[in-house]
Structure 1
Amino acid sequence: MSRELARRIAFTIGALLLFRLGTQIPVAGVAVHGGFAANKIAPLSIFSLSLFPYLTAAILVQLVAVVWRRLRALERSGEAGRRKLARITLILTLLLATFQAFGIASTMRQMPGLVVHPGDWFVLSATVSLVGGVFVLIWLSEQITRRGIGNGLALVLTVSIVASLPSDVATLLTQLRRGAISGNVLASNAVFLIVVVALIVFVERARRNVPVQFAARRVGERSLPSRLAVLPLKINSAGYLLPVTVAPWAISLPVIFAGFIFGADDGSWVETISAHLQFGEKAHIVFGSIAVFALAFVYTAFVIDPDHAAESLARQGGVIPGVTPGEATASYLDHVVSLTTVIGASYLTALSLIPEVFLAYGNALVYKMGGGAALIVVCTILDLQTQVREVSLTNPGGVRR
């Protein structure tokens, strides 16, 4: 192990330990020795909101960029444009975190015995503590990305998921000893999760390589010979967070608006539709699958723009063998991306359905570690593996060995 790699690993471990320490620091003013808070101190810590306001803000900005060309152009305008987008995301994060933290603090002070002095000062201090915790986590994740190893945001989310596994496993073993669940059910769930993890590893590593021929050209004083390369296209280019996070909004928002307009009294058609669209219901499974599949296509079209890719190839003197440069190249890439996206969207839809289908049919074990959580953990580990290899093969001066 090189000294640089050891330094980065040590920094990452230290930062993640700070994160775990922060999850044990309670919000100011909470009666931690009371019965309620003493048993549930983690949900009342300064890191209770985690990175979710930031992730929500980033998803909203990406959604706007999909339909607003000016914001999309800003993202592709270089470092200055990306800094503007980062500022917009942070401002939106501040608004979302403040709104959520104020709601939590207002609810907390109404619970008897939870807050020492349940006044306006507690609401203000708790709101500031929770919002500050979000921005501390954002800063800490950025430091991990810059000075450590791996993606800071993904590592914080992964540690949050993995940290709950020991207690979940202990609960399952206790239920097994008490006879609440059978050994066969537990074993079948374990095998199923192993298969899901293997599928995630296979798909996330899979690429559709498009051959590209670069003509000989001159760059400054250097003469570059003609060469054959590939344009790798990920099977899952949409990731997981945006399609799966936005899909519930696409289902619930129309029902909410209908309730405001027509009313949602007991026995009304709005109330009936809302009941059928609850998590775990068959209608929610069907419409949720359609929403995830469609959003995977929409976001992939934003991430991979065939026209932009064709223009980039033309500027660099690259052509796809047998395909005319320009519009024909863009059409060919659009066709290839569409075919791979069908596979990727089906894969994302299947992962998103795992916890809901098992919960709908009375098996809540896999619900504890659904496809989304498994995907985040596996992708983080794969990214770590890649970065460790890159750092190991790079000299301190940034030159590859």
Structure 2
Amino acid sequence: MKKLFTTLSNIWKIEELRVRILYTLLILLVYRIGSFIVLPGVDPRSLEGQAKEGLLGLLNMFAGGSFSRASIFALGVMPYISASIVIQLLGIAVPYFQKLQKEGESGRKKITQITRYLTIAITALQAIGYVKSQIGPEARLISDPLFSISAMAILTAGTMFVMWMGEKITDKGIGNGISLLIMVGIIAQLPYGISAEFISRNTGQGGLIAFFIEFVALFAVIMFTVLIIQGTRKIPVQYAKKIVGNKQYGGVRQYIPLKLNAAGVMPIIFAQAIMFIPSTIGQFFPSAQSSVLASFSDYTSVAYNLTFAILIILFTFFYTAITINPTQMSDDMKKNGGFIPGVKPGKSTSDYIDSVISKITLPGSIFLALIAILPSLAIILGVNSQFAHFFGGTSLLILVAVVLDTLQQIESYLLMRHYDGLMKTGRIKGRSDVSVASAGSAI
């Protein structure tokens, strides 16, 4: 406890860090207040009790409950994330975007500008679908077309404002702005999930003992998730010695840390998008629903979870392959006079790195698939659906990863001012603590 208070005191003594933390907290407070401001012309009482399940429930969690409340921030940062994913994929397939990625700071600014424009377009389309599908006539106090036009304009402006707040946290706060906004939205739903599970258990379904066991299981799952995110395979790299005058350069051994889960949460997001297709088809053709469509619409069914796990494994290999280029790593290593001991430079090096990536990606993808289906397994075992979301899936991965990144940012400020870090046993490693070998995890 004394170590904790000493660390907090050291954090408060660093003026720059103190200002950044207070600025971040202020922005997060504005975001949470905005999530409770209902769209003009909507009766909030008619929206009470509308539970969101499946993908809509996940979107509502990411938005901190704004989605179900018809808030001005109802769409949250998801349109921006969608735009970022599209631009990232275009950077792999389209030569123009590949050129921009190689132009350094100027190219990055152009990509950011294009991403913002694409975010506006995606937000406008999602706003149309949100107004038409989520806000029924009974909840509207203003008649169309005035309501639809005003709601779509406000939703688009709300998402752009949220994106601006995320960028401000990144620039003037403690970093990871967009990720922090998502994390705060997820944490905001945790009290509701805990209270719902407590009420459910306290009414006779297992009692408080089962409630305590669930918390122990949740702690074990969080520790397991930390191991998956932190797990790396270090490849030693030896650099040749260079003597210039009386000074020696190089000759040191470094390591390329290849992450066990280099794809982050992207495989789960892609797989969830595909698994949402059967239920979408069922909504358009309710009379044509078969037992197959029904089983794939039930996210607790065996068919759904088995298919979901297989898709995650496949997408993990795919996303890792397009984000990590062993050939480029081998060429960069050769240009800098580096080599892997016992492996010839050039093609042999790239083949060796590729084989290591393949070997660590398989267990990483299996563990990721297991984490993704844990919420469904928790629901089958009797856990309340609101609380079960925190037993795994995208929400837990984002929570753990963002917390590690934030702690790493704070620790870097402490170490730069010659204070002790946050831990006695070693440095905290977040997702940003990667080498050129890893493209990092996108959110």
Normalised by the shorter chain, which TM-score bucket?
0.7 to 0.9
Offset of 1:87 from its aligned partner? 2.9
CA distance in structure 2 between the aligned counterparts of 1:369 and 1:153, rounded to whole angstroms: 20
Offset of 1:245 from its aligned partner? 1.1
1:53 to 55, 79, 83: 79
The answer for unaligned runs of 5 or more in structure 1 is 397-401
Could you say what secondary structure the match of 1:26 adopts?
coil
The alignment's TM-score, normalised by the length of structure 1, stands at: 0.87
Q: Is the counterpart of residue 369 in structure 1 residue 394 in structure 2?
A: no
CA distance in structure 1 between the aligned counterparts of 2:355 and 2:248, rounded to whole angstroms: 34
Q: Is the counterpart of residue 317 in structure 1 residue 343 in structure 2?
A: no
CA distance in structure 1 between the aligned counterparts of 2:181 and 2:211, rounded to whole angstroms: 28
Offset of 1:16 from its aligned partner? 0.6
Q: Is the counterpart of residue 230 in structure 1 residue 255 in structure 2?
A: yes
Number of positions where the alignment pairs a residue of Structure 1 with one of Structure 2: 387
1:15 to 1, 24, 27: 27
Identity of aligned residues (%): 29
One-letter code aligned to 1:370: F
Which shows bigger deviation, 342-351 or 102-111? 102-111
The alignment's TM-score, normalised by the length of structure 2, stands at: 0.79
Residue equivalent to 1:276: 295
Offset of 1:295 from its aligned partner? 0.5
Residue equivalent to 2:158: 133
Offset of 1:125 from its aligned partner? 1.2
1:120 to 145, 157, 165: 145
Q: Is the counterpart of residue 192 in structure 1 residue 230 in structure 2?
A: no
Q: Are the counterparts in 2 of residues 285 and 357 from structure 1 also a CA contact under 8 Å?
A: no
Which shows bigger deviation, 274-283 or 289-298? 274-283
Q: Is the counterpart of residue 82 in structure 1 residue 108 in structure 2?
A: yes
Offset of 1:108 from its aligned partner? 6.1
Could you say what secondary structure the match of 1:393 adopts?
helix
Could you say what secondary structure the match of 1:13 adopts?
helix
Equivalent residues in 2 for 1:193-272, closer than 5 Å: 193-217=218-242, 224-240=249-265, 242-251=266-275, 253=277, 266=287, 271-272=290-291
Could you say what secondary structure the match of 1:25 adopts?
coil
Equivalent residues in 2 for 1:154-165, closer than 5 Å: 154-165=179-190
Residue equivalent to 2:208: 183
Equivalent residues in 2 for 1:34-49, closer than 5 Å: 35-37=45-47, 42=66, 43-49=69-75
Offset of 1:110 from its aligned partner? 4.0
Residue deviations 1:73-105 (CA, integer Å, cap 9, x gap)? 543442233333323322332222111212222
One-letter code aligned to 2:179: A
Residue deviations 1:274-301 (CA, integer Å, cap 9, x gap)? 2232222211111111110011111111
Residue deviations 1:157-183 (CA, integer Å, cap 9, x gap)? 110011111222222222233224433
Q: Specify whether residues 101 and 267 from structure 1 end up closer, same or farther in structure 2 by C-alpha distance, changes over 3 A only.
A: closer
Offset of 1:67 from its aligned partner? 4.5
One-letter code aligned to 1:276: S
Q: Specify whether residues 265 and 193 from structure 1 end up closer, same or farther in structure 2 by C-alpha distance, changes over 3 A only.
A: closer
Equivalent residues in 2 for 1:334-345, closer than 5 Å: 334-345=354-365
2:324 to 292, 304, 329: 304
Could you say what secondary structure the match of 1:277 adopts?
helix
Could you say what secondary structure the match of 1:381 adopts?
helix
Which shows bigger deviation, 103-112 or 171-180? 103-112
Q: Are the counterparts in 2 of residues 285 and 353 from structure 1 also a CA contact under 8 Å?
A: yes
CA distance in structure 1 between the aligned counterparts of 2:76 and 2:381, rounded to whole angstroms: 31
CA distance in structure 1 between the aligned counterparts of 2:333 and 2:230, rounded to whole angstroms: 24
Q: Which runs of 4+ in 1 moved over 6 A?
A: 38-41, 218-222, 254-257
Q: Are the counterparts in 2 of residues 110 and 118 from structure 1 also a CA contact under 8 Å?
A: no
1:295 to 284, 291, 315: 315
The answer for unaligned runs of 5 or more in structure 2 is 1-10, 51-64, 419-443
Q: Please give the root-mean-square deviation of Cα atoms over the aligned residues, in Å.
A: 2.9
One-letter code aligned to 1:380: V
Offset of 1:69 from its aligned partner? 5.8
One-letter code aligned to 1:82: R
CA distance in structure 2 between the aligned counterparts of 1:167 and 1:79, rounded to whole angstroms: 43
Q: Specify whether residues 305 and 139 from structure 1 end up closer, same or farther in structure 2 by C-alpha distance, changes over 3 A only.
A: same
Residue deviations 1:166-225 (CA, integer Å, cap 9, x gap)? 222222222233224433332232121111111112222222111111123489998624
Q: Specify whether residues 108 and 331 from structure 1 end up closer, same or farther in structure 2 by C-alpha distance, changes over 3 A only.
A: closer
Offset of 1:27 from its aligned partner? 1.1
